Structure 1
């Protein structure tokens, strides 16, 4: 009896242990079906345990046995209390299990209806069930195709973003990365997912990026901006597009961020900017060189319409959009347009000298013309380089004038020299007297020529002429010499003839007049007066304090130069007075005959000098 009791107790404890394991599995296990079946089995084992009923105190009120053949009416008299309770609990547990299984089946069918839209029919025939199964299989196949299409699109997205250097990321409302497509080459998704911008981005760009993302979450608008990320070797630039994402209830769920690597375009922009700056500097130097050399470069189309020019600084302003008919004066148009049309027709470069304008405004250019050709040889237009050679042409013209004037002056000078030599020889009794006299007169003539050249052939100031010629005999700043008069410019011819007369007066003063002793003095003065409504130059040479003089009995070379030469060459009136105090010479010369006259040749000659 005790042995059977101990075995029953051991079985009861084992049952309770099994019940406890099943309950634990029902709580922590996976799958609703498995958990429900575990709970059902635990209940059956728990209710069928004798130990449970004995603890409850119900075992003594139930009959001891229950024959299988007895009916329900004899059940209470045939079974023990414990067996009856176990049977009833087992039946209740079985009924509960059936109810749970049915409920689970109904739920699965209802769920399938919700997912597929097909209402289950539990009373349907096999043919209807087969049709329903086909519809379900079709729905499942379509869903499978959609899933495969999504996977393909995801793969294509990864390929497209990888080849285009685009990174796509998703962040939740806490700005933590949830997934990433095509991270940068040196990153993998595990380095990004689950982290925030504070953990990934460099400190320099962190405030900018977080600020834009926060603004996108607050305003619900897309934010676009650029960031620069410094690196060890080189910098990287990205264009960021931050798009807020909402669910079906219009509630924000996070951000989709697109980062496009624009480093190459940025570097190209920087290179383009640097090249543009260098090109501008080179073009500026090129234009400066062209302007300094008075060179103009321009292009024209086949209609000879100006399409480009390196400068608008022309005599008529900008020429862009205008034609030669509008720009070139009519007298010069035929020559210029003929050269340009010849280049267009022959496709060969041409050079030539052209003149534009009239009179003093006429300009000369060295024009070089080349055709602009397409790859197939068709003429697009012409490019011309025009060099202003006006100064050179004027210099050449002035040189011709100088040579012509020099030839004329040389002939005149030789004529004067011959006349001086002839007159000196006739007045000199011996060769020894002839040579010094001739040299002195040639020196005076040379001094006058020096002044003419020094004043650029424009004329000689009469004061400079007197000081130079008197200075050959006595210093002009000596206290014995007084020179006074207004500035008067003498023509080269007047300077030469009046200079010879002054030389003869000074030489005579040294030999016979004021400079023949140590006490004499000389006063030279001149003034411009009006006589008979004509301006004249009144020139006075007055000597005092020298030896007593008297009128000479014969006319020498000096008297001839002073009286006859001045009268013939300059239409001068000469009055020589030999007073006891010294020689006084008064000369009146018409102003129009001794001042430089306005002639184009003489002006050009002065410019050339």
Structure 2
């Protein structure tokens, strides 16, 4: 009848001569008798054994405690519930995260496609403008009756000047060009004889194209032979900004010293149109050219807001900025 802590059942011995009592082992050395009443729980199993001339009964009571069993059951149910809740929440979170990630990728893709469309439209617009300028250059340079050798030289130089300014704009992502960069020897004839001075401001793409052609036209018609004093004329290109924003004015002055109307090559028809009309109108300003006793002078004035053109620069910055991910 030994009942230890590892036993699944409590075993009692019932004497057939006394049905109201049963013997139970408290430990290996002590056996006690306890009463059996109507309210007592029935045993889980009963076995009949016979010895000493009598039939005895061995009753097996399962070791159960309602409070402990309830706690154990509650713990098991809670664990299962938590596990199921964690699985469901994990699946929901995974699905929600994938949906959010997919939504962000779609937004980025849509933004990228819109940006690409805008960039292509802007590129088409700029290419059309450049082609229109080149077409005008070719048409007016190769006009009927012009000297083919001189026209070819001017045409190559003008297109080269346009190519140079486009390269400079590409390097700056069309954010503008430093004005002094338009006087490079690869684009301006007689650049070594030009003394350039003035603040190194960044002009807009449109202004850079007009000024690049303007500088080439002025330099290409400077005296190629000897000047009034038997030397090549000294050229000074100077500009300054006067006034305060937003009414600041850009002032440009080109002066070829020791030059007269007799020694300077006459401006071509295209050059006159560019100097007197195209460049000033493109910059929203005015120009004048004249001879002094010892020099040839060309002056151009224009509003700084047109020369710099922050609207065009801001639009270019928006087009070149990276696409941001949606939140």
Tell me which interval the TM-score lies in, with the shorter structure as reference length. 0.5 to 0.7
How many angstroms apart in 2 are the aligned matches of 1:455 and 1:463? Answer: 14
Instruction: Answer yes or no: is the 8 Å Cα contact 1:469–1:502 preserved in 2.
Output: no
Partner of 2:175: 458
Structure number with bigger Rg? 1
Are 1:443 and 2:157 an aligned pair? no
The answer (yes or no) to whether the contact 1:427–1:556 under 8 Å persists in 2 is no
More helix by percentage: 1
Residue by residue over 1:193-238, the C-alpha shift from the partner in whole angstroms, topping out at 9 and shown as x without a partner, is xxxxxxxxxxxxxxxxxxxxxxxxxxxxxxxxxxxxxxxxxxxxxx
The answer as to 2:186 corresponding to 1:473 is no
Q: Please give the alpha-carbon distance, in whole angstroms, between the structure 2 residues aligned to 1:483 and 1:569.
A: 23
Question: Once the two structures are superposed, what CA deviation does each residue of 1:531-582 show, in whole Å capped at 9, x if it has no partner?
Answer: 9982110011111134664798886211111111012221221111122322
- Preserved CA contact (<8 Å) 1:463 1:487: yes
Q: Displacement of 1:433 after TM fit?
A: 3.4
Provide closer, same or farther for how the CA distance between residues 581 and 563 of structure 1 changes in structure 2, counting only shifts above 3 A.
same
RMSD: 4.0
Give yes or no for contact 1:457–1:606 (8 Å, CA) kept in 2: no
User: What displacement does 1:519 show?
Assistant: 3.6
Aligned equivalents of 1:452, 1:460: Cα separation in 2: 6
Residue 313 of structure 2 corresponds to residue 597 of structure 1: no
Assess if the C-alpha contact under 8 Å between 1:576 and 1:586 holds in 2.
yes
Q: Does 1:581 align with 2:294?
A: yes
Q: Paired residue for 1:496?
A: 209
Name the structure 2 match of 1:530: 243
Given that 1:512 and 1:547 are in contact with CA atoms closer than 8 Å, whether structure 2 keeps it comes out as no
Structure 1 equivalent of residue 284 of structure 2: 571
CA contact (8 A) 2:260 2:291 kept: no
Cα distance in 1 for residues equivalent to 2:221 and 2:266? 15
> Counterparts of 2:143 and 2:307 in 1: how far apart (Å)?
30
Q: Is the 8 A contact 2:261 2:291 kept in 1?
A: no
- 1:301 lines up with 2:89 in the alignment: yes
Does the CA contact (< 8 Å) of 1:529 and 1:537 recur in 2? yes
Task: Report if aligned partners of 1:563, 1:574 keep a CA contact under 8 Å in 2.
Answer: yes
Render the CA deviation track for 1:332-364: whole Å, top value 9, x for unaligned.
xxxxxxx95xx9xxxxx869742xxxxxxxxxx
Q: Which residue of 1 aligns with 2:38?
A: none
Equivalent residue number for residue 366 of structure 1: 105
Superposition deviation, residue 506 in structure 1: 0.7
Mapped partners of 1:464, 1:578: distance in 2: 27
1:153-177: CA deviation from partner (whole Å, max 9, x where unpaired) = xxxxxxxxxxxxxxxxxxxxxxxxx
Q: Could you say if the C-alpha distance between residues 414 and 352 of structure 1 is closer, same or farther in structure 2, counting changes exceeding 3 Å?
A: same
Normalising by structure 2, report the TM-score: 0.61
Equivalent residues of 1:469, 1:499 under 8 A apart: no
Task: State which drifts further: 582-591 or 555-564.
Answer: 555-564
Q: Which has the higher contact order (CA 8 A, sep 6+)?
A: 2
Write the deviation string for residues 27-82 of structure 1: whole angstroms up to 9, x where unpaired: xxxxxxxxxxxxxxxxxxxxxxxxxxxxxxxxxxxxxxxxxxxxxxxxxxxxxxxx
Count of matched residue pairs: 239
Alpha-carbon distance between aligned partners in 2 of 1:427 and 1:300, rounded to the nearest angstrom: 85
> Gaps spanning 5+ residues in structure 1: where?
1-148, 151-298, 309-338, 344-348, 355-364, 368-388
Q: Tell me the SS of whatever aligns to 2:127.
A: helix
Distance 2:229 2:154 in 1: 17
Per-residue CA deviation, residues 505-526 of structure 1 (Å, 9 max, x unaligned), is: 0101154787997442111111
Ranges in structure 2 where 5+ consecutive residues have no aligned partner: 1-27, 30-86, 323-327
Q: TM-score, normalised by structure 1?
A: 0.34
Q: Partner residue of 1:154?
A: none
Partner residue in 2 for 1:414: 131
Distance 1:583 1:470 in 2: 24
Deviations 1:395-439 (Å, cap 9, x if unpaired)? 544433321111001111111111111111127624343322211
